[in-house]
Amino acid sequence: MGLTTGRTNREIAQRLYVTPRTVGTHIEHILAKLDLPNRAAAAARAAAWGIESSP
């Protein structure tokens, strides 16, 4: 998705053809559901689960 590669909301939005605000909202929901404090923690969790982002 881009979260694990350190992309900004704007960069992710451009790749997915959505607005940066939409990306931010989805990331907020992901963090809440996983009970994680920030994007770095989400990226670390994804790595621990073996989830890799496509280039």
22 alpha-carbon distance from chain centroid: 12
What pLDDT does residue 32 have? 97
Q: CA neighbours within 13 Å on the CB side: how many for 4?
A: 14
**Residue 54 pLDDT exceeds 80:** no
Reported as a single tens digit per residue, the pLDDT across 1-38 is 577 788 999 999 999 999 999 999 999 999 999 999 99
What pLDDT does residue 41 have? 94
Question: Is 0.85 topped by the overall pTM?
Answer: no
What pLDDT does residue 51 have? 84
Alpha-carbon gap, residue 49 to 52, rounded angstroms: 9
